[in-house]
Amino acid sequence: MGKIVGKGKGKGSNRQGGFTVVELAVSILLVGISLSVVTLAYASSRRSMLITSGTDEVESLMRRAYNIAMQEGVDVYLQFWDASGSHPNRCAIYRVYPDGRDERDNDEPTETPPPGVSADTDGEGHFWFKIAEGSVSVQSPVTLLFRREGALVTVSSVQGGMSVTITLSGLSRTITINERGEVSS
């Protein structure tokens, strides 16, 4: 490692190998700028990753609700709350059984979270899913009804339309389902 030495100019200087204080300061400044750029790129990449993850989870939950209605022959409600809802920025899947029991009556959704989706629970087997680990917000409340009619499942809106919009730090994605259960984003 070189040492910092006093001034010296020209051929006959007394300067030995090493760096001046100005050279060191410029090097440190360049490293600092590089780290700032990398940090900003990472933050932007993380936001993009979280909104994509949230989109994938909402699509997966829509498909799950459709499959429950098809396989079990029950009505299924998929409910999304916004920040002011009873379960802020969460969603849940509720079943209505053929005997008339409706999990919505006492807010008791029993569908467990799919792999990779975290959830709040009351410890009694009821789950409210966090979208992208709770990092994204639901723009407005939406409730979808999945109803099996013969060999088909139809989807209809009970509240808020057929689309769910999630947001995160200026980014937003809208996930839409049609009456046949086809999901797009």
Give pLDDT tens digits for 147-173. Answer: 999 999 999 999 999 999 999 988 999
In a domain, 168, yes or no: yes
Helices (H), the chain: 21-72
pTM for this entry: 0.77
In a domain, 42, yes or no: yes
CATH number of domain containing 106: 3.55.40
Please state the domain count of the chain: 1
Side-chain-side CA neighbours of 64 within 13 Å: the count stands at 21
pLDDT tens, position by position, 53-111: 999 999 999 999 999 999 999 999 999 999 999 999 999 999 999 999 999 999 999 99
**Residue 103 domain boundaries:** 37-184
Side-chain-side CA neighbours of 102 within 13 Å: the count stands at 7
- Give me 137's structure tokens: 């917000």
* Mean pLDDT, all residues of the chain: 88
In a domain, 150, yes or no: yes
